[in-house]
């Protein structure tokens, strides 16, 4: 699955690069809009400058002084987020189609609605996973101080979250497999999600492949944190260096995601081929049996003549 996913990414490298650049452009537009808004609101506010420098009390006071503006900015940000989420369904459908060796635009236009409906259906198992995680936290009943540091969260809180986290991971894998099925075969989004869930819990290879992708994602993110945490990036040069490191991290995670999706599409295609070969082989064996059974009868009739 990994080698086939990498092969498909190489074959569709133009589509992969285009989608990443579109996502980068969308993120930069949003970041520029927020930066300009904060500059206009707080550009001459000394409290905000002190807050950015690390004074939490000054930052809190500065934000309270401009609460209506922040509310409007938050509403605008939410609208942009929803718009980008809809656009991401179109891009995901097109990219999955490209990895399935189909046309980007045609697949995106045909499967956009199915991807949206599949995402809505997935809210049901995601809600179940969240409820299971909340129940696990209530069951282990960790202390408040256990939730304030990473080393203590690995103990009881993590133990309580494990069942919900497993359901969440299985659901995420099922969504990916459902998308691959929609791109390949079409059909209903609910049926695609159900098929993805069935494969996610009955095919250990698929789950192991997805867990490996998650580990790679976490490793790339951890490397970025290790390189940048506690480091100063002064001046324009530091800002550009941090930007490049951030985009290299995003690019690595996006590449891992594309390879994982290509492998999932390949696995689904292999399953379909295997299922179709079974009746074909059975019919072929039956035909051979009929031919072999007919040969003695034919010989007897010839001998009788």
- Residue 239: C-alpha distances to residues 28, 49, 243, 303 (Å): 14, 17, 6, 95
Q: CA–CA separation, 261 vs 128, rounded Å? A: 25
Q: Alpha-carbon torsion 121, 124, 129, 133, what sign?
A: positive
pLDDT at 171: 96
pLDDT in tens, 30-61: 888 888 888 888 878 788 888 877 788 888 88
The whole-number pLDDT of residue 134 equals: 86
- Four-residue CA torsion sign, 270, 271, 276, 279: positive
* Positions of the chain with pLDDT lower than 70, given as ranges: 142-157, 272-305
Cα distance between residue 37 and residue 33, in whole Å: 6
Output the six-digit token pair for 38.
């904060």
Cα-based angle 210, 214, 217 (whole degrees, multiple of 5): 135
Spatial CB neighbours of 26, under 8 Å, sequence gap ≥ 6: 84, 87
Mapped onto helix, strand or coil, the DSSP state of residue 136 is: helix
CA angle 112, 115, 121 (to 5 degrees): 145
Distance from C-alpha of 155 to C-alpha of 198, rounded to nearest angstrom: 32
Radius of gyration of the chain (CA): 27
Query: Of 76, 95, 86, 68, which is closest to residue 29 (Cα–Cα)?
Result: 76
Q: Which tokens go with 254?
A: 């996006």
Query: For residue 61, what pLDDT is reported?
Result: 82
What is the four-CA torsion angle of 195, 196, 201, 204, rounded to 10 degrees? Answer: 120
* Rounded Cα gap, residues 273 and 183, in angstroms: 16
Q: Where are the domains of the chain?
A: 2-304
CA distance 203 to 213: 16
Q: What is the pLDDT of residue 166?
A: 93
Do residues 111 and 93 lie in contact, with contact meaning Cβ atoms separated by under 8 Å? yes
Listed in sequence order, the residues at least 6 apart from 191 whose beta carbon sits closer than 8 Å to its beta carbon are: none
Cα 77 off chain centre by: 22
Rounded Cα distance between 175 and 195, Å, is 10
Instruction: Read off φ and ψ for residue 186, nearest 5 degrees.
Output: 70, -145
At 80 the pLDDT is 83
Provide the residue count of the chain: 305
């Amino acid at each position: 699955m990994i080698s086939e996913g990498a092969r498909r990414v190489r074959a569709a490298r133009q589509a992969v690069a285009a989608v990443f650049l579109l996502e980068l452009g969308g993120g930069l537009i949003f970041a520029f809009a927020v930066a300009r808004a904060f500059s206009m609101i707080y550009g001459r506010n000394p409290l905000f400058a002190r807050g950015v420098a690390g004074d939490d009390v000054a930052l809190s006071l500065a934000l309270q002084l401009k609460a209506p503006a922040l509310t409007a900015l938050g509403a605008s940000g939410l609208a942009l987020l929803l718009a980008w989420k809809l656009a991401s369904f179109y891009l995901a459908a097109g990219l999955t189609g490209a990895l399935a060796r189909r046309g980007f635009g045609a697949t995106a236009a045909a499967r956009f609605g199915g991807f949206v409906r599949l995402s809505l259906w997935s809210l049901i198992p995601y809600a179940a996973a969240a409820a299971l995680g909340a129940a696990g936290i209530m069951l282990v009943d960790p202390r408040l101080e256990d939730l304030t540091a990473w080393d203590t969260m690995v103990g009881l809180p993590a133990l309580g979250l494990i069942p919900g986290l497993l359901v969440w991971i299985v659901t995420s894998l099922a969504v990916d497999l459902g998308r691959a099925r929609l791109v390949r075969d079409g059909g209903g989004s609910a049926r695609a999600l159900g098929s993805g869930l069935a494969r996610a819990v009955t095919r250990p290879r698929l789950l192991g492949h997805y867990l490996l992708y998650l580990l790679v994602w976490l490793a790339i993110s951890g490397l970025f944190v290790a390189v940048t945490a506690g480091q100063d990036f002064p001046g324009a040069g530091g800002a550009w260096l941090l930007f490049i490191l951030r985009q290299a991290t995003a690019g690595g995670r996006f590449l891992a995601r594309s390879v994982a999706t290509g492998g999932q599409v390949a696995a689904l295609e292999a399953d379909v081929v295997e299922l179709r070969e079974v009746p074909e082989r059975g019919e072929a064996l039956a035909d051979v049996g009929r031919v072999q059974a007919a040969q003695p009868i034919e010989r007897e009739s010839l001998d009788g003549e």
